[in-house]
Structure formats: C-alpha cells, structure tokens
Structure 1
C-alpha cells in the first residue's frame, strides 16, 4: 500500500473517531464521514463499503501487526504477554473507537482468533480437539477483552507489565 493510501485511511479513521465523540456510530453517514475526513464520497468507497469496514480493516491490520511481530516459539510466555499488553495499550485509541462504536465484539473475536493460533503453545491444550480449542479461546477472550477494555477506557493505573503479571497469576489459578 502506498503512503498516500495509508494517509487516506488514517484521515478516514480519524474522522470516524472525531464523529464518534459527537454521535452514535449508527447515526454517522458516509457523506458526513467523507466530508470530515476531507475526501470525496468516491474516495471513501474506493477504500470502504461502509463505516463498519473501517473498523474491520483497522482491527485486521492491528492484529496482523501483532502476530507478525511476536515470535511466540522463541519468546518466554511472560515476555509475550507483556509485549501484547504494551501493544494493546499503544493501540488504545483504536480500542476506544471500537467501544464508542459498540463494536467490542470485533476485539473479542480478534483476540479469540489469536488465542486459537497460539493454543499450540499451551501444553494442557494438546489433548483438545479443534472445537474444544475454539471454546477455550472464546471463554478466555471474553474475559480478556473485558479486562483490556476496562483497562484502556478507564485509564487503569497498572503498567502493561503489572497487568500481564496479574493475568498470568489468575490464569495459573484457573488451570490447577
């Protein structure tokens, strides 16, 4: 993708973020979004079919960046969790946009997909079939999403390191 494409996408996402401070996601029109972004409707449609696609595209970009930057095979589990918490905090503005758009499920679904991808790293999951792993991921992603959304939107005082340590501690208690 070109620099100009990235800039246009950033303008549109920024416009959506600004509009969400004024009105509900469902009330935002394409015309209003394009005008706020400083692009034509035709340009908007060149990138997206609707406002939800803006969120889907950005969520996909963020999760791809996360999963390609982390080598979970080589990383100590705690380091990986700390990295994920730092990464999510760095992308906190987008998480706030998802919450404002009432699209936390998009974050939860992305976390669940990532957990499924990473499930082969957990020894106790080796005996689970694919359906059971999906349940495992859904169960854990729901709680994790809730914690992350609360931490980001309420500006939790915990550092990424402290939150990662807490998540490990409660995860160990649940697995014994």
Structure 2
C-alpha cells in the first residue's frame, strides 16, 4: 500500500510539473510550437512520465480546465443557491479571464470551448418538451450564444456585473424560446 501511495504521489508531481511547465511555455509560444521534448525538459520529468499521464499536450490543458469548468456547471445543474452560484462564478471568471486571453494568444481556446460545449450538453441533457434532434440544435445554439457572451464579457473587462450578464442571458433564452 505504501508503494502505491508513493507511486501516486510521483504521478501527481509529474502532472503538476508538466502543467506548470506548459503554462510557462505558453506565455512565449503557441500550443502548436511546443514540443514534448521541450516540455519534459522544462518540467524536469522524463518522456515516459509524460506518456504515462497523457496522450497529447492538449490532454494537460483538458485535465487542468475540465474539473473547474465542470464545477461551474455543477452549481447551475444541481441548483445551488443564487449567492453560491454567483460567488463561485465570479471567483472562476476572475482567474479565467487571464487564462482565456492566454488561450487566444497561444491558440488553445478550442480546448476550453470543447469542455464548455460538453458541459452545456450535460446541462440541457434532460430538458423536456424537445425531440432529441431539436435538443441537439438547441444545445448548439445556446452553447454558441452563452460562450460568445461570456467570452466577450471577459475579454472586454467585465464591465457589467455577473448578475447583469446572467439576467441578459436568461432574457435572451426566454425570448428565443417564445419566438420558436
């Protein structure tokens, strides 16, 4: 059992070092310019350590962002009180704004958008009153709209409050449902 805990600790350390090294490299390079050899050298781990943990450099980003984005959606899906939702969302977006800017400069926004899309599909998965085909299109429509609004809000300095932004999104959703 002690050997297993030790191996898990080594694995976690490798993941942490690789994640930190990747974000350091992304400050100066685009994702496609980063080679695994350079990444493992920066992280101080072996190529084998990389491949024991990941299939690609994008996997590091997915592992970094996935739990944070999922938690953001869990607060909405599992109907946390509005104050908890807004506090958690504000904390998320305060940090995420810089990471989104980095994702644009370093060309990995598609990783974040993919995780956002998967969570939007999870959010709408049990909506009643729509055929599966209509639900698929509704999810695509809402995903692009909500992501676009959040993206614009984050990149332009979060001038409106998060509560105002969510009121706007709700109005747009209700208006669109009514128009259909």
TM range (shorter): 0.7 to 0.9
What is the CA deviation profile of residues 76-111 of structure 1, one whole-angstrom value per residue up to 9, with x for unaligned ones? 6x6686367336415504444433442333333333
Partners of 2:87 and 2:147 lie apart in 1 by 16
The alignment's C-alpha RMSD in Å is 3.1
- Tell me the number of residue pairs that the alignment of Structure 1 and Structure 2 aligns: 171
Matched, 1:164 2:170: no
Report the CA distance shift for 1:25/1:109 in structure 2 as closer, same or farther (over 3 A).
Answer: closer
**Paired residue for 2:86?**
82
**Paired residue for 2:124?**
119
Partners of 1:80 and 1:130 lie apart in 2 by 32
Q: Is the 8 A contact 1:59 1:107 kept in 2?
A: yes
Q: Is the 8 A contact 1:82 1:164 kept in 2?
A: no
**Paired residue for 2:113?**
108
Report the CA distance shift for 1:50/1:4 in structure 2 as closer, same or farther (over 3 A).
Answer: same
Structure 1 portions without partners, runs of 5+ = none
Partners of 1:7 and 1:153 lie apart in 2 by 32
TM-score normalised to the size of structure 2?
0.73
**Runs of at least 4 residues of structure 1 off by over 6 A?**
none
TM-score normalised to the size of structure 1?
0.75
Q: Is the 8 A contact 1:108 1:142 kept in 2?
A: no
Larger Rg: 2
Partners of 1:144 and 1:71 lie apart in 2 by 14
Q: Is the 8 A contact 1:48 1:54 kept in 2?
A: yes
Q: Is the 8 A contact 2:18 2:43 kept in 1?
A: yes
Paired residues for 1:133-172 under 5 Å? 133-172=135-174
Structure 2 portions without partners, runs of 5+ = none
Paired residues for 1:43-82 under 5 Å? 43-68=49-74, 70=75, 72-75=77-80, 82=86
Tell me how far 1:136 sits from its aligned partner: 1.0
